Chain A
Amino acid sequence: MDVAVIGATMTPFGQREAWIQELLTKAALACLDDAGVGTAVVDQLYVSNMASGEFEGKTGVMNALAADIGLTPAYAQRVGQTSASGGAGLYAAWQSVASGASEMTLLVGGEKMTHRSTGESSDIISSLTHPVEYSHGVTLPSFAGLTARAYLDRFDVPRESLAEVAVKNHANATKNPDAQFKKEIDTEDVLSSPMVADPLRLYDYCPVTDGSAALLFCPVSVAKQYTDEFVRLTGVAGATDTHVVHEREDPTWMRAVAESGRQAFEMAGCDSEDIDVAELHDMVTLLEPLELEALGFADRGEGWRFAVEDRTTLSGDLPVNTSGGLKARGHPLGATGVAQAVEIYWQLLGEAGKRQVDAKRGLTCNVGGFGNCVTTAVLEAE
């Protein structure tokens, strides 16, 4: 069954007063309104969230949301795949519709994080690591530092090239009213910001963020009853890599990104050269070039050139992270993968405002851990 997306919304990302339940509710209701679909026809609800239990002592958020917005007795499930929970939600929503199990599936992703200190947040997120990593205080940012040093050394990459990713994504975010940071920065700002995990600095990393996003899925045949304005989810696939990061033969190769991308392209019947716009998981600047390489946009060791040569800007041949990415739109863990697809939906329907690019086919890549679990999706304009 061909799967359509007929509604998409996100709440403003940043530091929010609302807790997880309110964030999820706001995105869910706005999405149904956006599509002009009533609650009575929603068969299934998926809620992408990494750690509401750890962040605010609240579990069962999918049931609470279903009841709060009048979806009962619809099937409701929480989708947890650490920071790739949103991408995993796309996969779950696709499965629910493609299988014929649901004729209307609502996907809502959200996370409430900023009430915790950075140290607490960091501990919650790094609790996904293996015990032999966790005991040494290994964090996701530290994997990025270890991998960045290997990447810069091995491919003789200029350090400034990573800063260019942050500069570009901040510039894009100034055109996104829902972004956390709407402030331009330059490479000097990045290279003089406080060190976090040598050689990477504060402005190489995404912030801690509250926020939510939602998408509404149904068969293409059903979509046409509601609207002419919809996009197709033509490819979606997930993959995993080792839990222990040092076991990877080549730490600079994102194997799960490559594998999920390969499968998503195969399903969509296209290749990297057919993609017009992409939302990549720039939890840290380094990941944007590594994903460009793993997805086949760039040759091995060459991904860093894209930002340097302005190929990924709004006017480049492959605009990447038009939303501002995780770096500047923000990264509310469970919401991110959903928000990536919301951005592509807007781009494909010509609703992206000042950051609009010319695109018929878009890609999202949502990464959990340091490449531990990944979902890649291809969306196409009708």
Chain B
Amino acid sequence: MMTDQELLAYRCENDHLTYPAHSRCPECGNPQTETVSLADREATVLTWTTVTASPAGVREPNTLAIVEFDVDGQAVRAIGSTTDAVETGATVRPVYVDTLRDKEASIRLSGDQPWEGYRFEPVE
């Protein structure tokens, strides 16, 4: 089963970095051979929304953000729910959450679906 416990970005031999993983690098088509953990890094909020009409199994309201990490000068983005209200441009850090949504109430059964992962918390 795929897990998202480490918030891993993946790198190919041509140094392209993606989150999440791909079987082949979207930039160059090569296999991804290295991982970089994003879990202990800070990121910047690029945009956000607060959803007040959630699907079955999901908290409401649900604030979501697209964030950008800077990994040694290389940008890599992720999407995730947030622990609190956020603003565009704010700095956030990942915080591990063992249940992001209710598996039993959700339609997806796939074994590659993680139910735990990281929310983004504003850094004071």
Contact = CB atoms under 8 A, between A and B. Distances in A.
B58 interface: yes
Chain B contact residues, majority secondary structure: loop
Contacts, number: 132
Interface of A: 54, 117-120, 122-124, 126-127, 130-139, 141-142, 145-150, 153, 194-200, 242, 244-247, 251
Contact of A247 (B18, B58, B113, B115): B18
A365 B33 CA distance: 39
Interface of B: 2, 4, 18-20, 26, 46-59, 62, 64-66, 77-81, 88, 100-101, 106-108, 110, 112-117, 119
A137 B117 contact: no
Given A127-B108, A146-B47, A132 B59 contact: no
B102 to A, nearest CB: 10
Contact of A195 (B52, B108, B117): B52
A143 to B, nearest CB: 9
A197 B48 CA distance: 9
Which of B2, B77, B88 counts the most A-chain CB atoms under 10 A from its CB? B77
Given A123-B106, A135-B117, A149-B88, A198 B56 contact: no
A293 to B, nearest CB: 18
B52 A194 contact: yes
B20 A137 contact: no
Chain A contact residues, majority secondary structure: helix
B57 A196 contact: no
Contacts of B115: 135
Nearest to B62: A137
Contact of A132 (B47, B106, B114): B114
A239 B59 CA distance: 34
Given A134-B108, A136-B64, A138-B64, A246 B79 contact: yes
A197 B53 contact: yes
16 contacts: A123-B55, A126-B55, A135-B116, A135-B117, A136-B100, A139-B55, A141-B51, A141-B53, A146-B64, A149-B47, A149-B88, A196-B52, A196-B53, A197-B52, A198-B49, A244-B79
A55 to B, nearest CB: 11
Given A120-B56, A135-B4, A244 B64 contact: no
Contacts of B64: 136-138, 142, 145-146
Contact of B77 (A148, A197, A246): A246
A149 B78 CA distance: 17
Contacts of A145: 49-51, 64
Contacts of B79: 132-133, 136, 138, 244-246
A136 B55 contact: no
B38 to A, nearest CB: 12
B59 to A, nearest CB: 7
Contacts of B49: 142, 145-146, 148-149, 197-200
Contacts of A136: 62, 64, 79-81, 100-101, 117, 119
Nearest to A195: B52
Nearest to B112: A131
Given A122-B55, A137-B58, A246-B79, A251 B47 contact: yes
Closest 9 pairs (CB-CB, A-B): A145-B49, A137-B58, A123-B55, A122-B55, A150-B47, A136-B81, A246-B77, A119-B56, A198-B50
B113 A135 contact: yes
A124 B57 CA distance: 12
A98 to B, nearest CB: 31
B53 A137 contact: no
A182 B49 CA distance: 30
B47 A147 contact: yes
A135 B100 contact: yes
B63 to A, nearest CB: 9
Contact of A242 (B26, B106, B110, B116): B26
Nearest to A148: B49
Which of B66, B81, B88 counts the most A-chain CB atoms under 10 A from its CB? B66
Contacts of A138: 64, 79
A196 B60 CA distance: 11
Contacts of A124: 107
Contacts of B51: 137, 139, 141-142, 145, 196-198
